[in-house]
Homo-oligomer: A and B are copies of this chain.
Amino acid sequence: MRKVPNRILLTEDRMPEQWYNVRADMPSQHDPYINPATMKPATMEDLTPVFAEELCKQEFTLERYVDIPGEVMDYYRLYRPSPVIRAYNLEKYLDTPARIYYKYEGSNTSGSHKLNSAVPQVFYNKKQGIERITTETGAGQWGTALSMACAHFDMPLRVYMVKISYMQKPYRKEIMETYGANVFPSPSDTTNIGRSILEKDPENTGSLGTAISEAVEMAVTTPNTRYSLGSVLNQVLLHQSIIGIESKIQLEMVDEYPDYVIGCSGGGSNLGGLMSAFMQDRLTGKAKPYFIAVEPSACPSFTKGRYAYDFCDVGHITPLAKMYTIGSGFIPPNIHAGGLRYHGMSPILSKLYHDGILDEARAVGQKDVFDAAVLFARHEAILPAPESSHAIKAAIDVALECRERGEAKTILFGLSGNGSFDLAAYASYNRGEMENYAPSDEEIAMSLKGIPDLQGI
């Protein structure tokens, strides 16, 4: 028997009962959201028409720990704690002295970590007496997670699904409908912003930014309705902190601590969650793990974007956030990691990266990512989601660097989701049709020009 088991399991009696708020330990905070109507810092009053009150509080709070409500714990226990897995087979194949661990969030029915924030978001809305939630979904992970949480709390849900995904991923729509959600292809004729886009371009296949605009418009114009977002926001990073808190306990159980913490980053929910407890150690001087954010070269907000105020949506009805952005008008190519096709980045992660605390961001190409994904699938017996495979690619690269240097480092990466709904992507890879892709410098420069000039604020 090996000293470290393959799967490090945590029993539910050891599951964390509080979320950790990284803002409490940050040396300085991100610049405030800006209300586009007043161009002044957004207040609670600006946000409460959009989000449930408790969630607005969480968006602003600097408390270090927030109790996880009992009703949320009850749902978490249906699928948590999730395992930390030692990648023995991958280590052996790579012939590396590094020890590779991954936190696997993909074994629940939604297929990803998104459920961790969907459950509390629906709970707080229900508690407030909200009668309907709206949201958007791109690849479908968030919409599925929110549908499951809404089914549990008996909350009607309307999902605006990016039209290209709606057409290409009918099964994602079906699983949301099985859990009781109403799913509309976006742009739709149910909102002003949707109608105006369709008027100009009836064939428009949608974008995450457009779907966000539609869902927010529907929320603020319908009585007793609120909007729900699966990434980017501070509240989401707070909820996702359970990933990192559990991971730290699990690694402690086998006397390990990560030298590297690696996560894919689209809007930041996965990386922000995974790093939480380790970032606390870093910020309080207890340890100094090295953090790597991995993004697609097709949508490189960290590595090619600008740290600036920008809108979170295409329709420019949401508040502006100070963040790394490639421009809200940027149309990323239709790569298969749909969950990473977002122009912006969590304000918290952006601030940490800007301040040199989140150590490194890497952009990786789609073909290289799938090479890593298939290698991982064959050795570790889990088919990874394309999004998560960005972290696999970087973890493999770090493990190979360790081999070169003869260093027995400990690597922790986030396997945030499984690939069961991404077989069309694997089919494309199997047929040899996949290529690395990166927008040209001209395309990026053009998009960055669209970022509003708010240097004076």
Q: Which residues of A contact B (CB under 8 A)?
A: 1, 5-7, 9, 11-13, 75, 77-79, 89, 107-109, 111, 148, 151-152, 170-171, 174-175, 177-180, 374, 377-383, 418, 420-421, 423-424, 426-427, 429-430
Contacts and interface: CB of A to CB of B under 8 A. Distances in A.
B178 A430 contact: yes
A156 B360 CA distance: 41
Residue from the set A89, A107, A179, A429 with the largest chain B CB neighbour count within 10 Å? A107
Contact of A9 (B9, B78, B177, B179): B9
Q: Quickly give the copy total for this chain.
A: 2
B108 A381 contact: yes
Given A109-B381, A109-B383, A377-B109, A77 B179 contact: no
Given A5-B13, A77-B7, A175-B423, A378 B109 contact: no
Nearest to A148: B381
A124 to B, nearest CB: 19
Majority DSSP secondary structure for residues of A touching B = helix
A171 B109 contact: no
* Leading 7 A-B pairs by shortest Cβ distance: A171-B423, A6-B77, A420-B420, A107-B107, A174-B423, A151-B378, A174-B427
A420 B377 contact: no
Given A6-B78, A109-B383, A177-B427, 7 more contacts: A5-B11, A7-B77, A9-B11, A78-B380, A174-B430, A177-B430, A178-B429
Contact of A175 (B5, B9, B178, B383): B383
Contact of A77 (B5, B77, B109, B374): B5
Given A9-B11, A378-B151, A427-B170, A383 B178 contact: yes
A321 B45 CA distance: 74
A16 to B, nearest CB: 14
Contacts of A175: 383, 423, 426
Nearest to A373: B178
A52 B32 CA distance: 68
Given A5-B11, A77-B6, A430-B174, A420 B423 contact: no
B79 A381 contact: yes
A211 to B, nearest CB: 21
